[in-house]
Amino acid sequence: MTAKKGGLGRGLGRGLDAMISDTSKPRQAEKTPEKTLTVKEPEGEAKGKVFTVKIAQVEPSRKQPRKQFDEDALLELAESIKQFGVLQPLLVQKKDDYYEIIAGERRWRASKLAGIKDIPVIVKEFSEQEAVEISLIENIQRENLNPIEEAAAYKRLMEEFHLKQDTIAERVSKSRTAVTNSMRLLKLDERVQQMLIDEMLTTGHARALLSIEDKNMQHAAAIKVFDEKLSVRETEKLVKEILNPRKEEKEKKADRAQDLVYEQLEEKIKGIIGSKVAIRRKSKDKGKIEIAYYSQDELERIVELLETIR
């Protein structure tokens, strides 16, 4: 998705490569703090350059938004690393006695599986907010976060760092509506959230279920959706029936009563014409009458009958 222009959105919207490669001079802070990413590079030989460290010296961030990793995908990446090495360095920052991963935890995990002892890194210094934003954006750009992890990351940016939804949307190159809809998923019952994480439901199903406020009813509906493999539209219909059972039942009874009326009319017309008749309803007061005939002679008979009526 094309990044919006201006502030932090311009830096992060281009992707992480722009942040990692632009090391020739320090970034200048702009007047608006919320739209500024000020990167302080460490002094000495490690200043913004790629160098190798022992993998044992590198650890993931405890506040990384991504919590789940596909084991099969990690094994595939590990096999690739065995053959070609780590092609893209990790973005890290120096802690007391180790390097904390800001971007690249998946590569780090795969490298450990591959038995790699040394790993390429780029060292920079970030504030806690910048580290969260970069981790979030890297995972969103690579489509690595599940819907609940993504929503939780947005919530953290809002609650801990007081960012507005418009600002978050700009920084992750998404619409404000997309961010809002993502965060609404956190209102789901925790069991339903887990079903979404486990890919038993889609975000479309989950958004439909949000209308059910009772958590147990919501979970029961989610189970029904999964068991019966309902589509999103069928899920929306199910939710409507759950929320308005009396109204739905009244509508069904009204439809059945109306069906009986039209069946009686069909029989009445059939008695007059002497042939099978079907009334096709299009709306409450509109429709068409179909008269069946089974030979040319019968058709001519029906026409003559209608002419007498005229």
Per residue, what are the HEC states of 220-233?
HHHHHHHHCCCCHH
Q: How far is CA 123 from CA 14, 33, 215, in A?
A: 20, 23, 46
Is residue 105 flagged as an active site residue?
yes
d(CA 290, CA 269): 11
Buried (b) or exposed (e) across 245-280, using 16+ Cβ within 10 A? eeeeeeeeeeeeeeeeeeeeebeebeeebebebeee
Indicate the length of the chain as a whole number.
Answer: 310
Name the catalytic one among 105, 133, 138, 149: 105
Whether 239 contacts 231, CB under 8 Å: no
Q: How far is CA 32 from CA 3, 6, 38, 157, 284, in A?
A: 19, 11, 12, 17, 59
* Helix-, strand-, coil-residue percentages of the chain, each rounded to 5: 55, 10, 30
Active site residues: 105
